[in-house]
Structure 1
Amino acid sequence: MEFTCPRCATSAEAEFYGPCPSCRAELIATFRSDGRVVELAEYEPKMNVTPNAVALKDD
């Protein structure tokens, strides 16, 4: 399919509509970043629910 590149307005031919291959390569080079590890606090459930009488019943 032939179309006009929405970024640089040149004629491009590709299977799907979007930036031309040169614009795509430029965008990948500009916005590429390395992944990072995010440290999160360990999950602790809230204790705002009281157990019911059946759960506390001793057999």
Structure 2
Amino acid sequence: MEFVCPRCQSSTADEFYGPCAACRSALVAKFATEGRVVELAEYEPKMNVTPNAVALKDD
């Protein structure tokens, strides 16, 4: 499919509509970031949460 690149207005041919290959490369280079590890606190239920009565039932 041939269309005009919405970013640089150059004529391009690609399978899907969007930025041309040169613009995609420039966008990837501009917005590339490294992943990071996010530490989360361990889940602790609220005090108003009670255990299931059936699970606590003694035989």
Q: TM-score, normalised by structure 2?
A: 0.82
Aligned length: 59
Unaligned runs of 5+ in 1: none
In structure 2, how many angstroms separate the alpha carbons of the residues matched to 1:44 and 1:20?
49
Q: TM-score, normalised by structure 1?
A: 0.82
- Report the RMSD for the aligned CA atoms in angstroms: 2.2
Query: Which contiguous aligned blocks of 4+ residues in structure 1 show a shift greater than 2 angstroms?
Result: 49-59
In structure 1, how many angstroms separate the alpha carbons of the residues matched to 2:5 and 2:20?
6
Overall identity of the aligned pairs, in % = 75
